[in-house]
Chain A
Amino acid sequence: MNLISSIVTLSLIYATPIIITALGGLYSERSGIVNIALEGIMVIGAFVAATFTPLNEAALGGWTPWIAILLGALAGGLYSLIHAFVSIDLQANQVISGTALNMLAIGISVYFCQIFFNQQRTQTFSRGFVKTNVPLFSKIPIIGDLFFKRMYYTFYLALLLVIVTAFILRKTRFGLRLRASGEHPSAVDSLGVSVRKMRYTGVLISGLLAGLSGGIMVLTQATQFTAGSIHGVGFISLAALIFGRWNAWGVLGAGVFFGFSQIFAIFSKDIPILAKVPAEIFHALPYILTIIAILLFSRRSAGPKAAGELYDVSKR
């Protein structure tokens, strides 16, 4: 029971940034803009949050990580506007723009680590988020052990964001317009709604969420920011988005599954049958599964139809 509850808890902790970033990707892709810069945006968010924390934790105490991830989200949002401008206004190839921003994020963040801290990483912080037993809920037998003991509150934030996103995309006028921009932009335009504005909003939300998620990741899983802090979780999130079939609840499921496969490598050492399987196989698992999922879904595509396509009003 102990092993199982710690596997579940850790899976959810590792799933948190994957879920939040994938939700970000959902907004962007639903609006019609492919955003493979999610990884880079997370790097920026993580860098900002991990720079703010050690410099302010003495003064701000327990509030520090919350303010830090908020700043990370803002930085991510600002950074994503480059992608929006380049791909919406200048009509650049969205994949190329994303690739450039992923590289730039590592360059900028480690560069400024060197400037601020004279090393290729940020100064270590004494504590990021703290694992807590949720009052009342943790007393529930079994469920309390699995979901409410030694958890970060950020997981519940991710859960909340899933619910909010599912609601916004399905039940609100904004959500309908956003989705329509990614499916059938000329229809949106003919109703007098600006496709450009919808897409800018989609990309901006993706930046805010990915930045937030980068901050959460570094403050829950590390003690400082390095070039390897995000190590491909942005791309796993992209995979979770595809695996979850561009749907908020699907993203939650896929995120938890990929979180589980990430920590599986750690726990497999304690499970006799799995101890012989090399850790690299578990690390590669999310990516291999995603390729398989893409192949299985290929017959009935679930993604937004016009994602990645330019929308040129003059060609309507």
Chain B
Amino acid sequence: MLKKRSHLTLSLIAILLSFVVASVVMLISGISPLSFFLSLIRTMTGMNLRAIGKEGFFNARYLGEFIQMAMPIILTGLSVGFAFRTGLFNIGAEGQVIMGSVGAVAVGILFKLPFYIHLPLAIFVAALCGALWGWIPGYFKAKFGVHEVVVTIMMNYTALYLGNFIIKALPGSDNQKTVKLAATSLLHSKFLRQLTGNSRLHWGFIVVIIALFVYHFIIEKTTFGYELRAVGFNKDAAEYGGIKVSSRIAYSMAIAGAFAGLAGAMLTLGTFDYGRVIGTFENYGFDGIAVALLGGNTAFGIFFGGLLFGGLKSSQTLMQASGIPLEIAIIVSALIILFVAMKNGIDLVFEWMDARKRSKDESH
């Protein structure tokens, strides 16, 4: 008898396995895995387990930094997850984040408006730029049947260079960054900063919560979302059932891009207050792939997956301070993707163990 293992079980096994493999890598290279886990726990809870009962046991700053780091990753997770639901692979979240950032920066610098218009406008334009960057490969797929994976990879690099070009071209920019954005366009919060020991926590979490609900609502509760999922399950059946598959593909990629664009807004309007020229990708989009896979493309799963990856990314500063090469966090992230992709293998191991158990039971 074949038991269907739940996605949650598989995800937890994937996380566990990647921590085990990463620990082996650390042990081989003479680094203590314990310090790694303590850094991760300290980042995600604010608690320093090495100083229980002592001064400095709890530091809210780590908590604030951790949450602000998780925000864009949850959003890119939603982006990749949304496309997955329609059977599309959005490797392009990376580029959509960049275009979203650039859009938000442009609005923040070029306009002078009261904050209740300026901030929403900046966020909206970020989502719009991301949506455009997602729509293009979606449209190409729908219209010409070209595979979205290759096009989105190429569009990531196009975004990297185009984004840097626009950032440098904005008035007052030097070769590294733009001038500061107008305060009316920022998500910054003095209150949240003071609450969390001067971390970079900002109002963006409200955007993230709304995005999570919107994602859940569109996918699960609307006819449109039903059609998207139908396309993801079986394109031909959906077409036969009267769904316009090609337009759904383009819309799905556009909405996915909008989520990633919002992630860009979190970075430029929240984490920073200026636009940056970036030399290479910052992996927010690739982390989104991991988060969507881990979370089984549900809003709930993506939320928790995003927290884990936010924790990993945010704990890098602490790791560096305690002598652990911060790249171990990248290794863990990559291994999680690899092990989730290996779910057939994990299933096989389980079946084999079940079969062994059964044959043992029978022989008794």
Q: Which A residues fall within an 8 A CB radius of B?
A: 36, 82, 86, 89-93, 95-97, 99-104, 106-108, 110-112, 114-115, 120, 227-228, 231-232, 235, 238-239, 242, 278, 280-281, 283-284, 287-288, 290-291, 294-295, 298-299
Q: In the complex the two chains form, what is the Cα distance from A232 to B344 in whole Å?
A: 30
Complex interface: chain B residues within 8 A of A114 (CB): 325, 327
Complex interface: chain A residues within 8 A of B330 (CB): 103-104, 106-107, 110-111
Pick from B40-48, B161-169, B202-210 the stretch touching chain A: B161-169
Residue B256 CB within 8 A of the other chain? no
Q: Which of A100, A120, A227, A278 contacts B341 (CB 8 A)?
A: A100
Residue B289 CB within 8 A of the other chain? yes
Q: Which of B149, B162, B283, B293 contacts A284 (CB 8 A)?
A: B162
Q: Using A96-B337, A115-B29 as known contacts, list a sample of 18 further A-B pairs with CB atoms less than 8 Å apart, ordered by residue number in A.
A: A36-B153, A92-B345, A97-B341, A99-B91, A100-B337, A100-B341, A104-B331, A104-B334, A107-B329, A107-B331, A111-B325, A115-B325, A280-B164, A284-B157, A291-B154, A291-B158, A294-B146, A294-B150
| Interchain CB contact under 8 A, B154 and A93 | no
Complex interface: chain B residues within 8 A of A91 (CB): 344
Q: Which of B140, B149, B338, B344 contacts A295 (CB 8 A)?
A: B140
With A95-B91, A110-B327 as given contacts, are A104 and B341 in contact (CB-CB < 8 Å)?
A: no
B residues 20-42 in Cβ contact with A at 8 Å: 25, 29-31
Q: In the complex the two chains form, what is the Cα distance from A284 to B99 in whole Å?
A: 14
The 9 closest A-B pairs by CB, nearest first: A107-B330, A114-B325, A104-B334, A103-B334, A100-B337, A107-B331, A280-B165, A284-B161, A100-B338
Complex interface: chain B residues within 8 A of A102 (CB): 286, 334
Specify which of B30, B31, B325, B341 lies most central, judged by the most chain A CB atoms within 10 Å of its CB. B341
Distance between B277 CB and nearest chain A CB, rounded to angstroms: 10
Interchain pairs with CB closer than 8 A, number? 139
| Interchain CB contact under 8 A, B328 and A107 | yes
Q: Give a binary string over B257-281; 1 marks a CB under 8 Å from any A CB, 0 the rest.
A: 0000000000000000000000110
Q: Which of A92, A107, A239 contacts B342 (CB 8 A)?
A: A92
